[in-house]
Structure 1
């Protein structure tokens, strides 16, 4: 049997909500499902350990990869002067 679910209520400014709503739509989710996913990701210790290890690896070996394989092409948004 699955453990009981807990509920979190969070109040945010309209601008923050609008940004979350945009990101949720871009991910194909409604706001509650998107928020649930973001919070689950934040609570995932393995994910954080992986991201920290990846950052360390990139810091140590990123220049070697770039030297050997070149730099990736910029994302399409970056070519128009907009951050991705």
Structure 2
């Protein structure tokens, strides 16, 4: 398969955040960026995430009653005072 190149400019803060996430994933920045872009271009992944949203809307309350409520994720607690 032929490879195509994408050049993207980001400001220093964005790059630092990407670099931090890449390191946490055990990857260098180009490999991490390649993986993120590949994930975004993956239709099957998006269909899976949409199905998860649908499940949560339809069955979330019943699931929580049966199995308990999960702890909030980092995303849900970001920016909230402790």
TM-score interval, smaller chain? 0.7 to 0.9
**Higher RCO (C-alpha under 8 Å, 6+ residues apart):** 2
Q: Please name the residue that 2:41 is paired with.
A: 43
Q: CA deviation at 1:10?
A: 0.2
Q: 5+ residue gaps in structure 1?
A: none
Alignment partners' CA distance in 1, 2:71 and 2:37: 32
Q: Aligned residue pairs: how many? A: 77
Summarize deviations over 1:7-47 as a string: whole Å, max 9, x none: 00000000000000000000000000000000000000000
In the superposition, the TM-score normalised over structure 2's length comes to: 0.85
Moved beyond 2 Å, runs of 4+: 72-75
